[in-house]
Amino acid sequence: MAESRRYFIKTYGCQMNVYDSGRMADILAGEGYAATDTPEDADLVLLNTCHIREKAAEKVYSELGRLRLMKERAREAGREMRIAVAGCVAQAEGEEIARRAPAVDIVVGPQSYHRLPDLLRCGARAVETEFPAEDKFDHMPPPGFASRASLAQPGAPARAPSAFLTVQEGCDKFCTFCVVPYTRGAEASRPAARIVAEAEGLAAGGVKELTLLGQNVNAYHGEPPDGAWSLARLLARLSDVPGIERLRYTTSHPRDMSPD
């Protein structure tokens, strides 16, 4: 039996990046990849990046320099290592990453990572940072074992009783100091039914505490075919999911606070 290809994901930044890393782990598991704890053993090293501060972006380039040397050693040993950059640095600096770090094979933004299987199969260098018309969640498997370890909050053991769940992405506020509208796009909410189904799956796996995620989570408004929802209504519905005992949410914006 052929040995599974191995992946290593390093996550920078916010809770949503932790969630996204878990979903990418599920995607890679579906492509026959298995996780490894060390980048040296990986056939694919993926950096899921943060762009909230300039220093965070420069850390990525520094790490890519180390990975370039690791990739060269792997090639000398007769093994192929591919390097992918995902997340907000990828979205903001896609072509610049390709220019500054020629060892990088794939650059993929936070709204495009569902295309990882196609990009991996293609084999060519690729920069995929468009905001696609389709919803990435329509193209991903439900959270599975691969993401249960990744979705466990930092410092918690695998299959921990707490997990993250993205319900909303993007922001329309365009605050002077903030890059989020440019890296995560316009405000978009997931259909309530799909959120509830994901919560039920996590609860069945032992999760008791959910943290709902959004760049502007209290702008949650639901999507067709479920019709208009508020964050308060969503919280009330999730509180009825058997096994879920505590709900949290982050990050909210004062403009979208409401009496309910």
Mean pLDDT computed over every residue of the chain: 88
- Helix or strand holding residue 37 (H, E): none
Q: Which pair of structure tokens corresponds to residue 15?
A: 């809770």
Q: How far is CA 197 from CA 79, 204, 205, 224, 241, in A?
A: 41, 11, 13, 16, 9
Q: Is 192 helix (H, G, I), strand (E, B) or coil?
A: helix
Q: What is the pTM of this model?
A: 0.87
- Using the predicted structure, report yes or no on whether residue 187 has a pLDDT greater than 60: yes
**Phi and psi based region of residue 159 (left: phi greater than 0; alpha: psi -120 to 50; beta: remaining):** left
- Helix or strand holding residue 204 (H, E): helix 192-204
Q: Which domains does the chain have, with CATH numbers?
A: 5-128 (3.40.50.12160), 152-256 (3.30.750.210)
**Confidence band (pLDDT; 50, 70, 90) for 247?**
very high
- What are the backbone dihedrals phi and psi of residue 127, each rounded to the nearest 5 degrees, phi first? -120, 115
pLDDT tens string 220-237: 998 767 678 999 999 999
Per-residue pLDDT averaged across 158-176, rounded? 88
pLDDT, position 134 = 61
